[in-house]
Structure 1
Amino acid sequence: MKRTVAMIAALMATTSMAQAEGVLNLFNWGNYTSPELLAKFETETGIKVTVTDYDSNDAALAKIEAGGHGFDLVVPTHQYVQIYAEKGLIVPLDMAKVPNHANIAPEWMNVDWDPGRTLTIPWQWGTTGVAVNTSVYSGDINTSDIFMNVPEELKGKINVVPEMNDVVNLAVMWAGGQPCSEDPEVLKKARDALLAAKPDWISMDYGATEKLSNNDWAASVNWNGSTMRARLANSPVAYGYPKEGYPVWMDSVALLKDAQNVDNAYAFLNFIAAPENAAMISAFARYANGIAGSDAFMPEDMKTAPEVVVPEEHKAAGIFIPTCSPKAQEYMTAIWTELQK
Structure 2
Amino acid sequence: MIAKLKYGMIGMAMAAMTVPALAEGELHIYNWGNYTNPELIKKFEETYKVKVTVTDYDSNDTALAKIRAGGHGFDIVVPSANFMPVWIKEGLLIETRPDQMENFKNVEDRWVNVDWDPGRRYSVPWQWGSTGIVVDTSLYKGDINTAKVILDPPPELAGKIDVAPEMNDVMALTIWYLGGEWCTADKELLKKVRDTLVNAKKSWIAMDYSIIDKFASRDYGAAYYWNGAALRSRMQNKDVRFGYPKDGYPLFMDSVAVLKDAKNVENAKLFQNFIMDPQNAALISAFANYANGIKGSDQYMPAHMKGAPEVEIPAEFVDKGRFFKLCEPEVTEIYSKIWTELLK
Q: TM-score, normalised by structure 1?
A: 0.91
Residue 293 of structure 1 aligns to which amino acid in structure 2? G
Tell me which residue corresponds to 1:174.
177
Deviations 1:189-245 (A, max 9, x none): 111100111121101111112222222211111100110011011100110111111
Return the offset for 1:96.
8.4
Of 294, 297, 302, 1:299 maps to 302
| Helix, strand or coil at the partner of 1:248 | strand
Among 50, 53, 65, the alignment partner of 1:50 is 53
1:84-125 per-residue CA deviation (whole Å, 9 max, x = no partner) reads 111111121144873212221111001111100011100000
In structure 2, the residue matched to 1:93 is: 96
Q: Which runs of 5+ in 2 are unaligned?
A: 1-22
Question: 2-side partners of 1:182 and 1:21: how far apart?
Answer: 51
- The equivalent position to 2:322 in structure 1, one of 295, 308, 319, is 319
Question: Match of 1:116, SS?
Answer: coil
Aligned to 2:18: none
Which whole-Å CA distance do the structure 2 matches of 1:217 and 1:124 have between them? 26
1:111 aligns with one of 109, 114, 131: 114
Displacement after TM superposition at 1:24 (Å): 1.0
TM-superposition CA deviations, 1:137-184 (whole Å, max 9, x none): 111111111111111111111011111111111111111112222222
Give the 3-state SS of the residue equivalent to 1:126 in structure 2. Answer: strand
Pairing 1:272–2:306 present: no
- 1:45-194 mapped onto 2 (5 Å cutoff): 45-95=48-98, 98-194=101-197
Whole-angstrom distance in 2 between the partners of 1:118 and 1:97: 9
**Deviations 1:296-320, CA, capped at 9 Å, x for gaps:** 2122322210101111122222112
Distance 1:185 1:49 in 2: 51
1:117 counterpart SS class? coil
CA contact (8 A) 2:98 2:123 kept: no
Residue type matched to 2:59 in 1? S
Letter in 1 for 2:242: Y
Say which SS state the counterpart of residue 206 (structure 1) adopts.
coil
Given the superposition, is the C-alpha separation of residues 97 and 42 from structure 1 closer, same or farther in structure 2, using an over 3 Å criterion? farther
Larger fraction in helix: 1
Counterpart of 2:33?
30
CA distance in 1, matches of 2:97, 2:312: 33
- Cα deviation, residue 253, structure 1: 0.7
Would you say the 8 A contact 2:107–2:293 is kept in 1? yes
Q: Select 1:331's aligned residue among 331, 334, 337.
A: 334
Moved more, 316-325 or 272-281: 316-325
Question: Which runs of 5 or more residues in structure 1 are unaligned?
Answer: 1-19
Any idea what the Cα deviations from partners look like across 1:257-299, whole Å, max 9, x if unmatched? Answer: 1111111111111110111100110111111111112122122
Alpha-carbon contact 1:174-1:190 (below 8 Å) kept: no
In the alignment of these two chains, the number of paired residues is: 322
1:340 aligns with 2:343: yes
Q: Which among 208, 211, 215 is matched to residue 211 of structure 2? A: 208
1:6 aligns with none
| TM-score, scaled relative to structure 2 | 0.90
Amino acid paired to 1:189 = K
CA distance in 2, matches of 1:96, 1:334: 40
Q: Which moved more, 1:318-327 or 1:35-44?
A: 318-327
Q: Give yes or no for contact 1:97–1:266 (8 Å, CA) kept in 2.
A: no
Letter aligned with residue 40 of structure 2: L
Question: Is the CA contact 1:133–1:219 (under 8 Å) kept in the aligned structure 2?
Answer: yes
**8 A Cα contact 2:99 2:121, kept in partner:** no
The 3-state SS of whatever aligns with 2:67 is helix
After TM superposition, list the pairs within 5 Å mapping 1:280-291 onto structure 2.
280-291=283-294
Name the residue aligned to 1:229: 232
Residues 137 and 154 in structure 1, CA contact (< 8 A), matched pair in contact too = yes
Aligned to 2:4: none
Identity %: 54
Q: Which has the larger radius of gyration?
A: 1
Give distance in 2, aligned partners of 1:105 and 1:337. 39
